[in-house]
Structure 1
Amino acid sequence: MRRKVWLFAALGAFMLVGLSQSNLSGPLIYNSNQSDPKPRAFDTKVVDAFKKKYPGIQMEFNTVDHETFQDTSIRTYLASNNPPDVLTWFAGNRMRAFSSRDLAMDITDVWKSNNWEKVVPKGFQALSKDSSGKYVFLPVSYYWWAVYYRKDIFAKLGLKEPKTWDEFLAVSKKLKDAGYIPIANAAKETWPQGGWFDFLDMRVNGPEFHKDLTDGKIPYTDPRVKKVFTYWAQLVNNKYLLENPASYTWQDAANLMIQGKAAMYLMGDFIRDQYPADRAAAELDFFRFPIIDPKVPIGEEAPTDGYFIPAKAKNVANAKAFMSFLGSKEVAEMAAQDLGRLPVRNDVDVKTLFKDKPYVQKGIAILDQADLIMQFYDRDTVPEMARIGMDGFVRFLSQPNQVDSILADLETARKRIFSQ
Structure 2
Amino acid sequence: MRRFLFIFLALLIALTTMAKEKIIVNSYMSDPAPRKAFAELVEIFMQKYPDYEIVVNTFAHEDFKTLLRTWLAAPKGTADVVTWFAGERMRYFAQMGLIAPIEEVFAETKWEEYFPASFKSTCSYNDKIYFVPQSWYWWGVYYRKSLFEKLGLKEPKTWAEFLDLCETLKKNGITPIAIGTKFPWTAAGWFDILNLRVNGLEYHIKLTAGEVPYNDPKLMKVFEYWKQLIDRGYFLANNAAYEWQEGATFLFRGQAAMYYMGQFIKDVAPAEVKDDLDFFRFPIIDPSVPLYEETPIDGFMIPANAPNKKGAVLFLKFIASKEAQEKFAKDLGRLAANVEVTPPDDHAKKGLSMIVASSGVAQFYDRDTNPEMAEVGMNAFIEFMQNPTRISSILDRLEQERKRIYSK
**What is the TM-score when the length of structure 1 is the normalising length?**
0.91
2:27 corresponds in structure 1 to 32
1:318 corresponds in structure 2 to 311
Is 1:327 matched with 2:315?
no
Q: Distance in 1 between matches of 2:360 and 2:107?
A: 28
Q: Output one character per residue of 1:290-343: Cα deviation in whole Å (capped at 9) or x when no partner.
A: 100010121100000000100011111111111111111101110121011101
Q: Output one character per residue of 1:51-70: Cα deviation in whole Å (capped at 9) or x when no partner.
A: 11121123221111111101
Q: Distance in 2 between matches of 1:279 and 1:182?
A: 18
Q: Distance in 2 between matches of 1:243 and 1:254?
A: 13
Contact 2:178 2:236 in 1 (8 A): yes
The equivalent position to 2:387 in structure 1, one of 389, 395, 399, is 399
Structure 1 segments, 4+ long, off by >3 Å, are none
1:235 corresponds in structure 2 to 229
User: Structure 1 residue 115: deviation in Å?
Assistant: 3.2
Contact 1:219 1:411 in 2 (8 A): yes
The equivalent position to 1:178 in structure 2, one of 172, 181, 202, is 172
Is 1:299 matched with 2:323?
no
The equivalent position to 2:266 in structure 1, one of 267, 272, 281, is 272
Is 1:60 matched with 2:55?
yes
Residue identity in the other structure for 1:391: N
Residue identity in the other structure for 1:399: N
Residue identity in the other structure for 2:222: V
Is 1:346 matched with 2:339?
yes
Is 1:155 matched with 2:143?
no
2:367 corresponds in structure 1 to 379
Q: Distance in 2 between matches of 1:24 and 1:332?
A: 29
Q: Output one character per residue of 1:383-412: Cα deviation in whole Å (capped at 9) or x when no partner.
A: 111110000000001100000011011111
User: Structure 1 residue 114: deviation in Å?
Assistant: 4.1
Q: Output one character per residue of 1:124-172: Cα deviation in whole Å (capped at 9) or x when no partner.
A: 1111111x21111101210000000111111111110001000000000
**What is the TM-score when the length of structure 2 is the normalising length?**
0.93
Residue identity in the other structure for 1:51: M
User: Structure 1 residue 370: deviation in Å?
Assistant: 1.2
Within 5 Å, give how 1:93-132 maps onto structure 2: 93-130=88-125, 132=126
**Number of matched residues?**
390
User: Structure 1 residue 188: deviation in Å?
Assistant: 0.2
5+ residue gaps, structure 2: 1-17
User: Structure 1 residue 116: deviation in Å?
Assistant: 3.1
The equivalent position to 1:361 in structure 2, one of 322, 331, 349, is 349
User: Structure 1 residue 371: deviation in Å?
Assistant: 1.0
Q: Distance in 2 between matches of 1:27 and 1:114?
A: 26
Residue 113 of structure 1 aligns to a residue in which SS?
coil
Residue identity in the other structure for 1:360: A
5+ residue gaps, structure 1: 1-22
Q: Which sits farther off after the overlay, 358-367 or 172-181?
A: 358-367
Residue 50 of structure 2 aligns to a residue in which SS?
coil
Residue 203 of structure 2 aligns to a residue in which SS?
helix
Q: Distance in 1 between matches of 2:401 and 2:286?
A: 29
Q: Distance in 1 between matches of 2:397 and 2:32?
A: 38
User: Structure 1 residue 289: deviation in Å?
Assistant: 0.5
1:262 corresponds in structure 2 to 256
Residue identity in the other structure for 1:317: K
2:330 corresponds in structure 1 to 337
Contact 1:182 1:262 in 2 (8 A): yes
User: Structure 1 residue 280: deviation in Å?
Assistant: 1.9
CA RMSD of aligned residues (A): 1.3
1:11 corresponds in structure 2 to none
Is 1:168 matched with 2:156?
no
